[in-house]
């Protein structure tokens, strides 16, 4: 995952100090109730995300679109929680704890948003790798004529050129940079090979086309390897969510329990 959002303790303390000691500061009981309720709602939403992850097919484009939507919703959950917690005015004894909650929600927002962006990249990657598998030149028989070969090279150059143009200058999430580089390398190699066919094939010599067909198996191997690596990343997402949930669970345990009622049930003297 990308480096977590850095929120310095000083900024958190300053944010909390703005409301401490002023009218509107929450009582200890009100604060415990409010932060517990907020955190329970966040935990419920994260639990629902885990249920969705268990049913995803990682080689299905439409499942990936749905998965991206799930993490966008999770990012929204953390954004809302961060805003709600930020509006609270905790009593002085809960300043440090409240800072931990604010940091957790901020990091959760960034992590979920980053994952959604990574899934969006894998969606585009899947489409491009599917196009590689279905190149027009690769579908031609060895006996294809000159005009068929020229038509296929034109189509493949258009598709690969469009993909390369769409990828140029794109900045995928940091943890998927290696896939981006691998995809660019593959597409450039294919583009070069198709251009070689287009430049050298003649009505009398289909040798450049036949050499492309032989080379195409290596392109498919590279294609399969890239998609396997992308799927490995996607299959690791449930573990990332589990770690976030575990951290949130531990944070919830740090909320002190309400004090025990006085002995005797708290009855008034003489009651």
pLDDT at 208: 96
Taking the model in full, what pTM does it have? Answer: 0.81
Q: What is the pLDDT of residues 65-110, one digit of tens each?
A: 999 999 999 999 999 999 999 999 999 999 999 999 999 999 999 9
Residue spans in the chain of domains classed CATH 1.20.120: 9-13+26-117+237-253
pLDDT at 113: 94
Instruction: Provide the Cα torsion 194, 199, 203, 204; round to 10°.
Output: -100
Tens digit of each residue's pLDDT, the chain (271 residues): 334 444 444 444 444 444 444 557 999 999 999 999 999 999 888 887 777 888 888 889 999 999 999 999 999 999 999 999 999 999 999 999 999 999 999 999 999 999 999 999 999 999 999 999 999 999 999 999 999 999 999 999 999 999 999 999 888 888 999 999 999 999 999 999 999 999 999 999 999 999 999 999 999 999 999 999 999 999 998 888 889 989 999 999 998 888 777 665 544 433 3
| Beta-carbon contacts of residue 115 (< 8 Å; ≥ 6 apart) | 1, 71, 173, 237, 240
Any idea how long the chain is? 271
CATH topology of domain 9-13+26-117+237-253: 1.20.120
Question: CB-hemisphere CA count at 13 Å for 227?
Answer: 21
Distance CA 256, CA 205 (A): 82
**Which candidate, 155, 29, 133, 160, places its Cα nearest to that of 91?**
29
C-beta neighbour count of 77 within 10 angstroms = 21
Q: What is the pLDDT of residues 114-142, one digit of tens each?
A: 999 999 999 999 999 999 999 999 999 99
Instruction: Provide the Cα torsion 225, 230, 233, 235; round to 10°.
Output: -90
- Kindly report each contact of residues 139-146 with a partner whose C-beta sits within 8 Å and lies 24 or more positions away, as own/partner: 140/209, 142/210, 142/213, 144/206, 144/209, 145/203, 146/201, 146/202, 146/203, 146/206
Instruction: Provide the Cα torsion 8, 9, 15, 18; round to 10°.
Output: -140
pLDDT at 23: 55
The phi-psi region of residue 24 (left if phi > 0; otherwise alpha if psi is between -120 and 50; otherwise beta) is: left
Q: Is 173 exposed, middle or buried (0-12, 13-18, 19+ CB in 10 A)?
A: buried
**Which candidate, 189, 201, 107, places its Cα nearest to that of 152?**
201
| Dihedral pair phi/psi, residue 203, rounded to 5° | -60, -25
How is residue 172 written in tokens? 């995928």
pLDDT at 260: 72
pLDDT at 264: 57
pLDDT at 238: 86
**Which candidate, 11, 7, 77, places its Cα nearest to that of 42?**
77
pLDDT at 66: 92
Identify the residue whose tokens are 């299905």. Answer: 60
């Amino acid at each position: 995952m990308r480096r977590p959002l850095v929120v310095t303790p000083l900024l958190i303390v300053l944010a909390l100090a703005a409301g401490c000691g002023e009218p509107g500061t929450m009582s200890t009981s009100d604060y415990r109730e409010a932060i517990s309720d907020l955190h329970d709602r966040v935990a419920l939403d994260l639990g629902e995300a885990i249920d969705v992850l268990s049913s995803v097919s990682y080689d299905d484009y439409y499942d990936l679109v749905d998965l991206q939507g799930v993490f966008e919703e999770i990012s929204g959950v953390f954004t809302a929680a961060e805003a709600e917690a930020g509006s609270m005015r905790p009593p002085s004894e809960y300043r440090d704890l409240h800072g931990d909650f604010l940091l957790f929600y901020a990091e959760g927002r960034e992590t979920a948003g980053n994952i959604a962006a990574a899934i969006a990249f894998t969606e585009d990657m899947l489409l491009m790798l599917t196009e590689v598998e279905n190149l027009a030149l690769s579908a031609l028989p060895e006996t294809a004529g000159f005009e068929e070969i020229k038509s296929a090279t034109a189509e493949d150059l258009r598709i690969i050129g469009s993909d390369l143009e769409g990828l140029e200058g794109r900045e995928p999430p940091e943890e998927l940079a290696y896939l981006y580089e691998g995809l660019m390398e593959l597409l450039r190699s294919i583009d070069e090979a198709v251009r070689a066919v287009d430049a050298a094939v003649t009505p009398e010599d289909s040798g450049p086309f036949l050499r492309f067909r032989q080379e195409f198996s290596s392109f498919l191997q590279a294609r399969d390897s890239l998609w396997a690596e992308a799927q490995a990343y996607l299959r690791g997402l449930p573990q990332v969510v589990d770690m976030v949930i575990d951290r949130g669970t531990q944070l919830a345990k740090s909320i002190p329990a309400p004090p025990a009622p006085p002995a005797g049930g708290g009855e008034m003297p003489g009651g």
